[in-house]
Amino acid sequence: MYPQRRMRRLRKRTLQPLFCETVLHLTDLVAPLFIDETASGKIPIGSMPGQYRYPPGEIALHVQSLYTAGIRAVLIFGIPAKKDEEASESYARSGVVQNAVRSIKGLVPGMTVITDVCACEYTSHGHCGVLHHGRCGTDLDNDASLLLMNRIAVSHAEAGADIVAPSCMLDGMVHSIRTALDESGYQDIALMSYSTKFASALYGPFREAADSGFSFGDRSTYQMDPANAREAFLESQLDAKEGADILMVKPAGNYLDVLSTICTIGLPVAAYQVSGEYSQVKAAAERGWINEKAVALETLTCIKRAGADLIITYFALDAARWLSEKPEGHP
C-alpha cells in the first residue's frame, strides 16, 4: 500500500547532514557596525537589543573580536558630530567613517571593510543627498546628489575601504561612482550597489541606530515600491550594466522572490537582513514566543537558499557562535 518512494528514508538524523542542500558558512556573513563620533563608550541601541553605537576609539578592537570569531567582512555606518544641508562631513578626510576605516585596517588588515556611501546620516534634513526646491515641492536632486556620492566614495577609497556600497538609490549612481573611482586611481576598489532597495517599513530601528530619520516626507520617490517585482529586477539589471561588481536586495526576508530572480543576472548578490527583521526576532524571543537561535539560523539559511552570496545581518556575531557549536548529541 505504501509508495515505493519513501521520502523519510534520507531524513534519519545521521543522514540529514549528508544531503543538506544549503549550508550557511561564516564567510557568507557581513556584520553592520555603527560608529558614533560623539560617543565616549559604546551606546546600546534600544530598538535593536544586542547592538551598539561604538566610539571611534573602540571600533578597531571590536572588529578584531569579530575577526577572531570568524567574521571576515563588516559594513560601516558613521554618525558624525555635526550635520548640515550639504553633508560636508560625509567626505571629510578626517570624517568618522574615514578615520574608522584607517583604524580597522591598521589593526585588522585581513578584514574586508565595506563602507555605506550615502548622505542620510550627515544631512540636517535626513534625506540621502542634495535637495531640490521646485514647483512640486522639495525632493532629492538626483544629478546634483551624484556628485556628492562621488566625493564620498573616493574619500572612503582613499581611507582604505575594500568595497564601497552606494545605498541612495539614485539613477546613474553606479556609473557615476565607478567613473569617479577609476579617474582617481581606484580601479581595484569593488562597488557593491544597493541596487534593489525597497521603501520598506522595516527600517525603523536603523534610523534610531544611525540617527538618519528624515525631517519631512519620505524616501518613496527614490526607493522601490514593495509591490513592484519587474521594476526591482530592472533596477538591478541597470546597475549591473553600469559596472556594479555586487548587487544587493534590501530587505531580505520579505523579498526572497526578488532575490532569487536577481541572482539570474549573473553577478554576486548580497541580501541585507535589516533592522526590523532582526528586532522582530529579538522581541519575540525576549517574550519566550520563539527560539531565537533556531529562528535566526532558519532565516539566514533561507536567504542563502534563495541565492544570496553575502548576507548582511545583525545576527552575524551570534551566528558565528551558533555555527561553531557542536550539534546536539555530538561529543
Q: What is the Cα–Cα distance from 244 to 246, expressed in whole angstroms? A: 6
CA 258 to chain centre: 17
Residue 138's pLDDT is 62
Domain ranges of the chain: 23-324
Question: Hey, which residues are catalytic here?
Answer: 197, 250
**Least confident span in 72-86, 228-242, 261-275:** 72-86
DSSP label at 251? S
If one counts every other C-beta atom within 10 angstroms of the C-beta of residue 285, the result is: 17
For residue 251, cis peptide bond before it (omega within 30 degrees of 0) = yes
Nearest to 41 by CA among 25, 53, 26: 53
Give the three cell numbers for residue 271.
541580501
Given a cut of 80, is residue 80 above it in pLDDT? yes
Give the position of cell 569593488: 190
Residue 136's pLDDT is 55
pLDDT band per the 50, 70, 90 thresholds, residue 4: confident
- Distances from the Cα of 181 to the Cαs of 58, 149, 174, 190, 251, in angstroms? 29, 11, 10, 10, 27
CATH of region 23-324:
3.20.20.70
If one counts every other C-beta atom within 10 angstroms of the C-beta of residue 188, the result is: 9
CA 97 to chain centre: 15
Given a cut of 50, is residue 331 above it in pLDDT? no
Q: What is the pLDDT of residues 161-190, one digit of tens each?
A: 999 999 988 999 999 999 999 999 999 999
Q: How big is the chain by its Cα radius of gyration, in Å? A: 20
Mean pLDDT, range 89-105, rounded to an integer: 96
Residue 18's pLDDT is 94
Mean pLDDT, range 119-146, rounded to an integer: 75
pLDDT band per the 50, 70, 90 thresholds, residue 124: confident
CA angle (323 as vertex; 321, 326 as ends), nearest 5: 100
Given a cut of 90, is residue 86 above it in pLDDT? no
Q: What is the Cα–Cα distance from 322 to 318, expressed in whole angstroms? A: 6
pLDDT band per the 50, 70, 90 thresholds, residue 14: very high
pLDDT band per the 50, 70, 90 thresholds, residue 220: low
Range from 1-15, 83-97, 104-118 that averages highest in pLDDT:
104-118
Q: What is the pLDDT of residues 28-56, one digit of tens each?
A: 999 999 999 999 999 999 999 999 999 99
Q: What is the Cα–Cα distance from 206 to 219, expressed in whole angstroms? A: 14
Amino acid at 82: K
Mean pLDDT, range 124-145, rounded to an integer: 72
Taking the whole predicted model, whether its pTM rises above 0.75 is answered as yes
Residue 219's pLDDT is 60
